[in-house]
């Protein structure tokens, strides 16, 4: 299906027509797209400006290698060294790039298929701090934190992918940072993961590790279970040279690419929200075109992520209503292009998992999901506008994500759900539906029950006490003290530890390590 045929319809495939793996009202890949912040003509106008920016304004700082490839493919370099992307080339890439593909987990049962507005929740971010679980104070994040976050997320049912969310600051070189990030993520979960690479050396260094985990030389490429978080641009309209080098190497290695443009409206993108979306689309499309020039079979994800500045201070505001609009509009642009997409949501400005964190995460994830983002990054765990992560927040947010996914599932309209006889029998009979066969049948298929969110009566609550954060902390403790994944064989781990500088002590990765 081409974009021209698809555009502007914005309708989902009804989720009830998809197969649910179990009798549950929620599952990975429910179809969003019932919230449409932009009209069809508005989508066209934003796209038109994006094309104009690509063709007429172009990008500075292209790398020599990508310049050669791009010029060979039809781009041109102007006298100021800016690379321009002709409209026909961009349109052509949009038309022929992959519209749907799997992001693999080490466990194939956890693969997710992205595209066609199928919504998946996941982690993301590059927080430099974590809220220490014991002290409650923020401190620099470490490899061990990343490992703990990842194996925690491995057990959270409504988080479908686990992209790196904190920076391992206890590493000493960029290579060590990148390798130890991969190691912590892949040891922690069999869900699809993603990391970023500082430069092309990191990519080349990682390939043997990834192949070894995959089962041998060239095996990773067959089922690439580790995506690249690639910020290929420094907005506005400038390429990031090291990231572009890394991108080139990664695409050649068959890695899926999350192509991110992360401008801040009012600072590195226009303050006018529509302009910020257009610039982000142009920047993201530039990355997609380059990926496709390197490899027409590449797996590239449209991640136009315009962020918001509080214009009084210049500081990022991840929790603002404007941020939710930007993400939802960008998701709709991805739907317009019919491309697999990622949007950031769940980024609260609060430093604590409090009411503000709840409502900012609540409305932002809801709007991104209903706008049909394929992947919602940052949907769990993050605080302080992505500056920090908190273990208990992952657990709390998982509860929220379940409920939001339930809303994405929508309302089943069918002969059974609109059964006149059911209502008549109850009204003329017992007068209530409590014991009716339909009620019993629908209990599990229409209703999702939370794990820790409080539904007690006021009286039970007053008697029983207990705080939601305490319940979340208990779940963190239980998972982290029990769940030490062992999907990477001992000999593979030994080989990795022999060939790379692995910071995480082996004993930290086993039960009874005295930490949990």
Q: At its nearest, how many Å lie between a copy of itself and the CB of residue 471?
A: 10
CB of 206 vs a copy of itself, minimal distance in Å: 31
DSSP string, 415-429: TTTT-HHHHHHHHHT
With contact defined as beta carbons under 8 Å apart, do 100 and 375 qualify?
Answer: no
Q: Check residue 228 for interaction with a copy of itself (CB under 8 A).
A: no
Q: 138 near 350, Cβ under 8 Å?
A: no
Asked if 57 touches a copy of itself (CB under 8 A), the answer is: yes
Count interface residues toward a copy of itself (CB under 8 A).
Answer: 123
d(CA 231, CA 147): 23
DSSP 32: -
Site for a copy of itself in 340-369 (CB under 8 A): 349-363, 365-367
DSSP state at residue 251: H
Q: What's the closest the beta carbon of residue 23 comes to a copy of itself, in angstroms?
A: 14
Least Å distance between CB 213 and a copy of itself? 35
Which of 87, 96, 424, 510 lies at the binding interface for a copy of itself (CB under 8 A)? 424
Q: Could you tell me the sign of the dihedral formed by the alpha carbons of 36, 42, 45, 46, in that order? A: negative
Q: Is 473 in the site for a copy of itself (CB under 8 A)?
A: no
Q: Which residue has the tokens 């008549």?
A: 424
From 48-56, 106-114, 115-123, 188-196, give the range in contact with a copy of itself by CB under 8 A.
48-56
Our finding on whether 467 is near a copy of itself (CB under 8 A) is: yes
Q: Contact letters (x/-) for a copy of itself, 100-139, by CB under 8 A? A: -----------------------------x-------xx-
**Residue 315 interacts with a copy of itself (CB under 8 A)?**
yes
- Nearest by Cα to 237 from 281, 272, 198: 281
Contact between 18 and a copy of itself by CB under 8 A: the answer reads no
Q: Are 465 and 458 in contact (CB under 8 A)?
A: no
Site string for a copy of itself, 370-389 (x = CB under 8 A): x-------------xx-xx-
Interaction of residue 491 with a copy of itself, rule CB under 8 A = no
Return d(Cα 318, Cα 381) in angstroms, integer: 13
Residues 229-268 that bind a copy of itself (CB under 8 A): 236-238, 265-268
* Contact between residue 64 and residue 44 where contact means Cβ atoms under 8 Å apart: no
Closest to a copy of itself by CB, 110 or 158: 158
User: Out of 329, 343, 373, 496, which residue is the one contacting a copy of itself (CB under 8 A)?
Assistant: 329
Work out whether 468 is an interface residue with a copy of itself (CB under 8 A): yes
**CA–CA distance, 295 with 221 (Å, rounded to integer):** 13
For 316, residues 6+ apart whose C-beta sits below 8 A from its C-beta are: 264, 307, 308, 309, 310, 385, 386
């Amino acid at each position: 299906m081409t974009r021209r045929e698809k555009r502007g319809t914005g309708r989902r495939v009804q989720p009830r027509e998809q197969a649910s793996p179990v009798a549950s009202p929620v599952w990975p890949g429910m179809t969003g797209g019932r919230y449409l912040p932009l009209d069809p003509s508005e989508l066209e106008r934003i796209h038109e400006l994006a094309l104009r920016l690509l063709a007429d304004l172009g990008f500075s700082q292209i790398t020599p290698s990508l310049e050669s490839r791009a010029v060979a493919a039809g781009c041109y370099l102007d006298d100021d060294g800016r690379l321009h992307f002709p409209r026909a080339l961009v349109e052509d890439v949009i038309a022929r790039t992959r519209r749907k593909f799997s992001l693999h987990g080490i466990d194939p049962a956890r693969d997710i298929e992205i595209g066609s507005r199928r919504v998946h929740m996941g982690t993301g971010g590059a927080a430099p701090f974590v809220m220490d679980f014991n002290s409650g104070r923020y401190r620099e994040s470490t490899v061990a934190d990343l490992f703990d976050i990842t194996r925690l997320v491995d057990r959270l049912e409504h988080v479908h992918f686990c992209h790196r969310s904190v920076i391992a600051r206890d590493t000493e070189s960029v290579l060590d940072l990148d390798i130890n990030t991969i190691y912590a993520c892949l040891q922690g979960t069999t869900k699809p993961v993603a990391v970023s690479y500082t430069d092309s050396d990191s990519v080349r260094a990682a390939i043997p590790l990834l192949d070894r985990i995959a089962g041998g030389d060239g095996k990773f490429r067959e089922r690439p279970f580790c995506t690249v978080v690639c910020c290929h641009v420094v907005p506005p309209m400038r390429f990031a040279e090291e990231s572009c080098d890394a991108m080139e190497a990664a695409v050649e290695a068959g890695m899926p690419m999350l192509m991110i443009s992360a401008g801040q409206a009012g600072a590195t993108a226009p303050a006018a929200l529509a302009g910020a979306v257009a610039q982000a689309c142009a920047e993201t499309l530039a990355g997609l075109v380059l990926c496709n020039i390197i490899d027409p079979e590449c797996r590239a994800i449209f991640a136009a992520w315009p962020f918001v500045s509080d214009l009084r201070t210049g500081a990022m505001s991840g929790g603002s209503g404007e941020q939710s609009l930007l993400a939802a509009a960008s998701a709709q642009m991805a739907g317009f292009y019919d491309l697999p997409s990622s949007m950031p949501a769940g980024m609260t400005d609060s430093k604590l998992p409090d009411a503000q964190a709840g409502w900012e995460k609540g409305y932002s994830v809801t709007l991104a999901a209903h706008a049909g983002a394929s992947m919602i990054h940052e949907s769990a765990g993050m605080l302080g506008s992505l500056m920090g992560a908190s273990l208990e927040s992952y657990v709390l947010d998982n509860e929220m994500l379940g409920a939001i996914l339930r809303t994405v599932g929508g309302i089943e309209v069918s002969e059974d759900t609109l059964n006149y006889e059911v209502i008549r029998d109850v009204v003329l009979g017992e007068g209530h539906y409590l014991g009716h066969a339909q009620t019993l049948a629908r209990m599990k298929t229409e209703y999702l029950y939370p794990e820790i969110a409080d539904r007690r009566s006021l009286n039970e609550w007053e008697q029983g006490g207990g705080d939601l954060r305490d319940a979340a902390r208990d779940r963190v403790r239980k998972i982290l003290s029990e769940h030490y994944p062992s999907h990477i064989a001992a000999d593979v781990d030994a080989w990795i530890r022999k060939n790379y500088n692995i910071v995480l002590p082996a004993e930290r990765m086993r039960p009874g390590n005295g930490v949990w």
